[in-house]
């Protein structure tokens, strides 16, 4: 393979995706296909659906997650149908923060990383194309240029919905650069990219004394403040916080409940009204899916604190439990080995199965049912269909399987122990 030839072909493919034109041309585009005007929530659902959805015995399976997530079919179905799908249809759940809650090493971060990567790839397809006002630090939806009074007519004409206001920076540029001529405003296609900080934001908690709210909402630009003389001049402000940059896509709050509460206040209005307050500006609109993750003990102490009631009411908690199927656990181990430098090393035929059975046993709860011990229970939670008796036992056992698996420490030890293998 000629590496450099491949690289230039790859570059050419990307260059083909570039598009730029006036707002008028963008409107013409929307006339033929209104999908670029979809919300961030719809974009995430469309991305998942674009990989294909299959229904097996009344249960939906999503090809997108099947590549990397094993044994969590029910949890994933609940997550997609109850949150992503409903939010995509603009139901009220989209006004909530999605909180993935589950034991350590249960796959929460993996799910969020998959969503981010999936969005990046989706924005490179025709169906997932994202257009934004050229030069806007928040890659703003161009339809925000349309005055509120005219929106109902435009919405009817184009078959789209327009929510949100122009950001302070675009408002100023519309006045100064374009002299108020909306149709001449330049629009471009943007590609969602975590590296380039387009459409994906990540916030992770650190020392609350040194961490600044500016990490989320942007900050005053001290290099230009003397030039423009006022803190309320958008040119003297950097709209480069994570919430700004995640506009049109996804905002990840890593270990959300470890954050100092001052960082979470902005989320109250962002989730409910779709805007947040930054600097000396009016509320700034943002269209983003907020996904956070945490483990169970932190969630318990969070809900125990009455002060957190407002935030709690704006969350939708999705449990991500441990996998309880031996065959699926084997697939996880095979995946982890495949990702390591040890994939060429021969592993004894039943080693992965033994490790998987061990892990699953640590996650099951003792049952009081006569003649049913943990090993039998473990057998009936595998996906194998070899014995005729399996089905009825399975049904009986379900009620005794703990939803969240074993204490964190056991899972952690078992998975580390396994990796040494
Ligand atoms: N159900 C699963 N299917 C596939 N891989 C899994 C599954 N559960 C865990 N893993 C793998 O285990 C590793 C740890 O998972 P991950 O970091 O996503 O867990 P987490 O829930 O975010 O944990 P923590 O609470 O410690 O942050 C990853 O490599 C992940 O791919
Ligand atoms: Mg994690």
pLDDT of residue 275: 81
pLDDT of residue 344: 86
Which parts of 37-160 fold into alpha helices (H)?
40-50, 63-66, 73-78, 86-88, 108-122, 151-158
* Mutate which of 67, 74, 106, 406 for ligand 1 pocket (most atoms within 8 A of beta carbon): 106
Asked if 64 and 24 count as a contact pair (C-beta separation under 8 A), the reply is no
Q: Which domains does the chain have, with CATH numbers?
A: 13-37+92-319 (3.40.50.300), 326-420 (no CATH)
Quick one: which H or E segment has residue 99?
strand 97-101
Distance CA 141, CA 128 (A): 14
Give me the residues of the chain with pLDDT under 70, please: 379-421
With a 6 A CB cut-off, is 332 part of the ligand 1 pocket? yes
With a 6 A CB cut-off, is 104 part of the ligand 1 pocket? yes
Global pTM value: 0.87
The tokens describing 122, both together, are: 């989706």
Asked if 139 and 247 count as a contact pair (C-beta separation under 8 A), the reply is yes
pLDDT of residue 373: 73
Distance CA 245, CA 229 (A): 25
Picking from 264, 266, 263, 289, the residue whose alpha carbon sits closest to that of residue 278 is 266
| CB burial readout 181-213, b (16+ within 10 A) else e | ebeebbbbbbbbbbeebbbbbbbeeeeeeebee
Residue nearest to atom 12 of ligand 1 (CA): 105
Residue 69 Cα to ligand 1 midpoint, Å, equals 9
* Mutate which of 107, 115, 256 for ligand 1 pocket (most atoms within 8 A of beta carbon): 107
With a 6 A CB cut-off, is 103 part of the ligand 1 pocket? no
343 CB-side CA count, 13 A? 8
Residue nearest to atom 20 of ligand 1 (CA): 105
Residue nearest to atom 7 of ligand 1 (CA): 107
130: which residues sit within 8 A by CB, 6+ positions away? Answer: 36, 43, 123, 139, 189, 190, 191, 192, 199, 248
* Mutate which of 68, 73, 105 for ligand 1 pocket (most atoms within 8 A of beta carbon): 105
Helices (H) and strands (E) in the chain, counts: 20, 14
* DSSP helix/strand/coil, 272: helix
Distance CA 284, CA 270 (A): 9
Q: Are strands 275-276 and 284-285 parallel, antiparallel or unpaired?
A: antiparallel
Residue 226 Cα to ligand 1 midpoint, Å, equals 49
* DSSP helix/strand/coil, 405: coil
Which parts of 101-239 fold into alpha helices (H)?
108-122, 151-158, 168-176, 214-217, 225-228
Residue nearest to atom 18 of ligand 1 (CA): 107
Q: What are the DSSP E strand ranges found in 227-320?
A: 237-238, 250-253, 275-276, 284-285, 289-294, 315-319
With a 6 A CB cut-off, is 367 part of the ligand 1 pocket? no
């Amino acid at each position: 393979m000629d590496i450099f030839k491949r690289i230039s072909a790859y570059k050419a493919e990307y260059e083909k995706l570039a598009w730029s034109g006036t707002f008028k041309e963008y409107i013409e585009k929307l006339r033929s296909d209104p999908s670029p005007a979809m919300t961030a929530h719809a974009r995430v659902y469309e991305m998942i659906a674009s990989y294909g959805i299959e229904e097996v015995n009344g249960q939906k399976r999503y090809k997108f997650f099947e590549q990397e997530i094993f044994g969590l079919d029910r949890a994933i179905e609940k997550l997609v149908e109850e949150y992503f799908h409903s939010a995509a249809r603009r139901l009220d759940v989209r006004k909530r923060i999605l909180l993935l809650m589950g034991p350590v090493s249960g796959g929460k971060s993996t799910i969020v990383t998959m969503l981010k990567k999936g969005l990046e790839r989706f924005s490179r397809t025709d169906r997932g194309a994202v257009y934004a006002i050229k030069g806007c630090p928040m890659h703003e939806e161009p339809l925000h240029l349309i005055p509120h009074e005219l929106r109902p007519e435009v919405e009817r004409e184009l078959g789209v919905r327009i929510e949100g206001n122009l950001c302070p920076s675009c408002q100023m540029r519309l006045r100064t650069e374009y002299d108020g001529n909306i149709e001449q405003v330049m629009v471009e296609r943007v590609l969602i990219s975590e590296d380039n900080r387009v459409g994906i934001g990540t916030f992770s908690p650190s020392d609350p004394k040194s961490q600044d709210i500016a990490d989320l909402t942007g900050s005053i630009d001290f290099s230009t403040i003397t030039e423009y003389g006022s803190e309320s001049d958008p040119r003297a402000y950097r709209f480069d916080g994570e919430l700004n940059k995640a506009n049109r896509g996804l905002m990840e709050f890593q270990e959300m409940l470890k954050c100092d509460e001052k960082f979470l206040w902005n989320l109250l209005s962002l989730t409910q009204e779709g805007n947040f307050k930054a600097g000396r500006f009016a509320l700034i609109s943002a269209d983003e899916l907020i996904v956070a993750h945490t483990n169970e003990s932190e969630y318990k102490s969070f809900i125990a604190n009455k002060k957190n009631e407002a935030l709690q009411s704006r969350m939708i908690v999705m449990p991500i439990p441990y996998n309880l199927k031996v065959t699926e656990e084997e697939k996880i181990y095979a995946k982890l080995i495949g990702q390591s430098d040890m994939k060429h090393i021969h592993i004894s035929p039943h080693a992965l199965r033994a490790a998987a059975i061990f892990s699953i046993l640590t996650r099951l709860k003792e049952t009081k049912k006569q003649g049913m011990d943990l090993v039998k229970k473990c057998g009936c939670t595998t996906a194998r269909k070899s014995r005729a008796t399996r089905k009825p036992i399975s049904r009986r056992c379900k009620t005794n399987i703990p939803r969240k698996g074993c204490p964190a420490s056991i899972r952690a030890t078992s998975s580390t122990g396994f990796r040494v293998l």
